[in-house]
């Protein structure tokens, strides 16, 4: 097997914006003094006249983005997930969500893999918060290829979009040549009828590894990548529920209100089956290297595989 290339999706985000700058002369990027970290600095370098630094004032930045979008410009507003979805929540709801303005929120440093900065910066609640806003599209890409495709797709979506990117370099497993991104459509990466692993973001790659481990033990787990958490692809999830009888969700987010909750809500209506959630279990994180934290908080292929085995055993 060739060496796995690793890249942080925040990097993909910055590169994608820079690539799109020529194609979209009305594209503007806002940041709140984090351009070096969110990687909008890549866009700034390519296109300084269309980069606006709002300073450390995320609430105002979201309002600026709303006002600009109301005049027809294509606007991306960036900060860490904690501040974009957390601190600025009410501005996102009332100034962007309620008037359904086409502001794209590029939220980086999501989840526990922020690492050493610790709990104040590890946002495990952003998906839950954003899901409650009517008309908000939420995209959580799994790797570089998907992240770039998602940014390209988001730019033409009519209405607000929350995009979630990570700080940690993660394996690039999608094939750039064949990958197709469709908003709101899940992707079945592995077939299997013993159980279904529904994953998002960096947990998709862990789900694939878990499926390999399980296959070695004779368990065929289906793997579904849900890059768009809202609107959720209920069809692919309900089909999985019917055909496998048990779902294990995997996300780098609280088990409250994120992908696991969304999937559970969906199957409750269409085909009630057990839904086992792998995520951050309603606790704050703490400082440490990202890789160690992911293991410690159970955000690993090993933990997914274990949960699948237990769920399959319970089913039979």
User: Which positions are catalytic?
Assistant: 58
Query: According to CB under 8 A, which one of 24, 33, 70, 256 is a site residue for another protein?
Result: 70
To another protein, the closest distance from the beta carbon of 106 in angstroms equals 17
Record the tokens describing residue 8, joined without a space.
């942080």
Cα separation, 36 vs 315, in Å, equals 49
Query: According to CB under 8 A, which one of 35, 42, 47, 66 is a site residue for another protein?
Result: 66
* Sole window of 97-105, 108-116, 207-215, 222-230 interacting with another protein (rule: CB under 8 A): 97-105
Cα separation, 33 vs 30, in Å, equals 9
Of 19, 211, 8, residue with least CA distance to 113:
8
User: Residue 158: is it exposed, middle or buried by C-beta count within 10 angstroms (0-12/13-18/19+)?
Assistant: exposed
| Contact string 9-48 vs another protein (x = CB under 8 A) | -------------------x--------------------
Query: According to CB under 8 A, which one of 69, 82, 114, 203 is a site residue for another protein?
Result: 69
DSSP 8-state code for residue 277: E
User: Residue 78: is it exposed, middle or buried by C-beta count within 10 angstroms (0-12/13-18/19+)?
Assistant: buried
Cα separation, 303 vs 210, in Å, equals 8
Torsion angles phi and psi, residue 224, rounded to 5 = -120, 130
Q: Which is nearer to another protein, 54 or 263 (CB)?
A: 54
Query: According to CB under 8 A, which one of 1, 71, 216, 269 is a site residue for another protein?
Result: 71
Query: According to CB under 8 A, which one of 16, 18, 27, 65 is a site residue for another protein?
Result: 65
Q: Which is nearer to another protein, 36 or 56 (CB)?
A: 56
* Strand, helix or coil for residue 40: helix
Contact footprint for another protein (CB under 8 A): 28, 50, 52, 54-55, 57, 59-60, 62-73, 90-91, 94-95, 98-100
């Amino acid at each position: 097997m060739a060496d796995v290339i690793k890249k942080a999706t925040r990097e993909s985000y910055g590169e994608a914006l820079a690539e799109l700058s020529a194609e979209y002369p009305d594209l503007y990027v806002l940041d709140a003094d984090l351009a070096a970290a969110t990687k909008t600095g890549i866009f700034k370098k390519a296109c300084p006249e269309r980069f606006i630094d709002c300073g450390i004032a995320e609430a105002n930045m979201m309002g600026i983005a709303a006002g600009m979008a109301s005049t027809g410009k294509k606007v991306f507003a960036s900060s860490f997930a904690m501040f974009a979805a957390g601190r600025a929540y009410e501005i996102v709801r009332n100034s962007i969500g309620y008037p359904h303005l086409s502001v794209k929120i590029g939220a980086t440093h999501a989840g526990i893999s922020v690492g050493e900065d610790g709990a104040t910066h590890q946002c495990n609640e952003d998906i839950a918060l954003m899901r409650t806003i009517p008309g908000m599209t939420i995209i959580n890409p799994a790797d570089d290829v998907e992240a770039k495709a998602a940014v390209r797709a988001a730019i033409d979506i009519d209405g607000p979009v929350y995009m979630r990117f990570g700080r940690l370099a993660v394996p690039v497993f999608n094939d750039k040549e064949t990958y197709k991104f469709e908003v709101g459509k899940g992707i079945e990466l592995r077939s299997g009828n013993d159980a279904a692993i529904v994953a998002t973001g960096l947990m998709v790659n862990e789900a694939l590894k878990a499926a390999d481990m399980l296959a070695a033990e004779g368990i065929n787990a289906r793997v579904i990548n849900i890059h768009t958490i809202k609107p959720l692809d209920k069809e692919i999830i309900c089909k999985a529920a019917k055909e496998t009888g048990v779902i294990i969700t995997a996300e780098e987010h609280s088990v409250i209100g994120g992908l696991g909750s969304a999937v559970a809500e969906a199957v409750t209506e269409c085909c009630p089956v057990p839904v086992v959630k792998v995520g951050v279990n309603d606790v704050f994180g703490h400082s440490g290297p990202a890789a160690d934290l992911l293991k410690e908080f159970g955000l690993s292929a090993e933990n997914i595989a274990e949960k699948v085995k237990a769920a399959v055993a319970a089913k039979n």
